[in-house]
Structure 1
Amino acid sequence: MHASSRVELALLLFCPPSPLRFSLGACISIPRTRRTSETLHYLIFTTHSPPSMSSTRPYDVEEHPWSTGLCGCFDDIKSCCITFWCPCITFGWMSEIVDKGETSCVMNCAIFALLYSLTPCTCLYSCFYRTKLRREFGLKQDPCHDCLVHCCCMHCALCQEYRELKSRGFDVERGWEENARQRREVAMAPVVEGGMKR
């Protein structure tokens, strides 16, 4: 067997059929068989896995504090009053932004209102969006687990989540589509450098 054929055969035997990238590493000498002292030089390759979609892992993400406290409801009187009387409205606004428009404000509001009026388990539904919001912006799980926060202080939690989105530049009441359009317009706005020249 020709030497180049032996090297190709070795690569087929020892390299797994996976989408890996190979780079030349080093050479070593390995006895071919017991019958002869001839040696073959096998190229040793180092493998590199293809880059993943996200380089960050849950335990690598630095968690940041919320912009306002859980009991800071009076920092925004309007959202405080709306949430006190109709928490489903605040939840609908907030959840549409968190879902990035995949679900509508009206649908989430209706589901929340139905659960709120018929079952005591609304917090299990609403706490899911608190967790989703936290992971999106890398926020701390404070002051305790998301489910406990919503079970014990759901109205305060909804107000806090509303204020958090507002502090990050979202006009929560206008919905995801309007916020996304506004952000695109800002990103595409031309930058004028310097003043007028004659």
Structure 2
Amino acid sequence: MYPAVPDEYQKPVGQPSAPPYDDPPATGIPVIPPPSNYAYADNSGAPPQPPHPYIPSGSAPGNWSTGLCDCCSDCSTCCMTCCCPCITFGQVAEIVDRGSTSCVISGLLYGLLCHFTGCACVYASFYRTKMRQQYNLPETPCADFLVHCCCECCALSQEYRHLKSQGFELSLGWSGNMEKQNRGLTMSPIVPHGMSR
């Protein structure tokens, strides 16, 4: 009733069938991941990350560019921070977050927290901590939370001045600073001389 199955397709019972063809031989250089206990140069146990595209310039890592009470060195920032700290905070937060939150959203959230709870300094102190970690800055003159609770305007002004000393133009925001940096890195095209008679 059914056609007979050829012998080559029949397999004996209890024996695994061999694959119809062999895998091709492997070529190239084998890549073996490092063991989990491998120590990298920074002893963190994690592979090194590529450098950040924005190369900071200005003060050396490990030091604030200005002191907490050096508000006279940048009077315009100090006045803006005293009158409307949400603007200064929003600009600082956008740079520290590397553009993941906008100046408007951060400033608005800061303003709402300040208006309804009076505890916007707690929110701002998280950004001071994050900024210190990015630039390897010391926690001076005291803990970040206390700096913002006691001297909110001075702390925001200091953070603004430090980012400014690192080459950021805070009014441009993160994307504006990246465009500015990319324009500075691109070379102008070489224009060939015209035909001379």
What range describes the TM-score normalised by the shorter chain of this pair?
0.5 to 0.7
Deviations 1:110-131 (A, max 9, x none): 0000001111221110001101
Tell me how far apart the structure 1 counterparts of residues 164 and 89 of structure 2 sit (CA, whole Å).
14
CA offset at residue 65 of structure 1? Answer: 1.6
CA offset at residue 48 of structure 1? Answer: 6.8
1:103 is matched by which residue type in structure 2? Answer: T
Instruction: Give the TM-score taking structure 1 as reference length.
Output: 0.67
Which position in structure 1 is the counterpart of 2:48? 54
- Identical aligned pairs, as a percentage? 45
SS of structure 1 residue aligned to 2:151: helix
Tell me how far apart the structure 2 counterparts of residues 171 and 63 of structure 1 sit (CA, whole Å).
19
1:152 is matched by which residue type in structure 2? Answer: C
Deviations 1:116-162 (A, max 9, x none): 11112211100011011111111111101111100110110000000
1:104 is matched by which residue type in structure 2? Answer: S
Which position in structure 2 is the counterpart of 1:68? 66
Instruction: Give the TM-score taking structure 2 as reference length.
Output: 0.67
Unaligned runs of 5+ in 2: 1-31, 41-45, 50-59, 191-197
2:147 to 137, 146, 149: 149
Tell me how far apart the structure 2 counterparts of residues 190 and 89 of structure 1 sit (CA, whole Å).
36
Unaligned runs of 5+ in 1: 1-17, 22-46, 56-61, 193-198
CA offset at residue 68 of structure 1? Answer: 0.2
Partners of 1:63 and 1:140 within 8 A in 2: no
Q: Which has the higher contact order (CA 8 A, sep 6+)?
A: 2
Size of the alignment, in residue pairs? 144
1:189 paired with 2:187, answer: yes
- Greater strand percent: which structure? 1
2:148 is matched by which residue type in structure 1? Answer: H
Tell me how far apart the structure 1 counterparts of residues 72 and 48 of structure 2 sit (CA, whole Å).
38
Partners of 1:19 and 1:50 within 8 A in 2: no
1:53 is matched by which residue type in structure 2? Answer: P
Deviations 1:21-53 (A, max 9, x none): 6xxxxxxxxxxxxxxxxxxxxxxxxx9738523
Which position in structure 2 is the counterpart of 1:78? 76
Tell me how far apart the structure 2 counterparts of residues 170 and 20 of structure 1 sit (CA, whole Å).
38
1:162 is matched by which residue type in structure 2? Answer: Y
Tell me how far apart the structure 2 counterparts of residues 132 and 95 of structure 1 sit (CA, whole Å).
10
Partners of 1:63 and 1:138 within 8 A in 2: yes
Partners of 1:130 and 1:161 within 8 A in 2: yes
- Greater helix percent: which structure? 1
Which position in structure 2 is the counterpart of 1:165? 163
1:105 is matched by which residue type in structure 2? Answer: C
Please give the residue correspondences for 1:1-198 in structure 2 after superposition, counting only pairs within 5 Å: 19-20=33-34, 49=38, 51=40, 52-54=46-48, 64-189=62-187
SS of structure 1 residue aligned to 2:127: helix
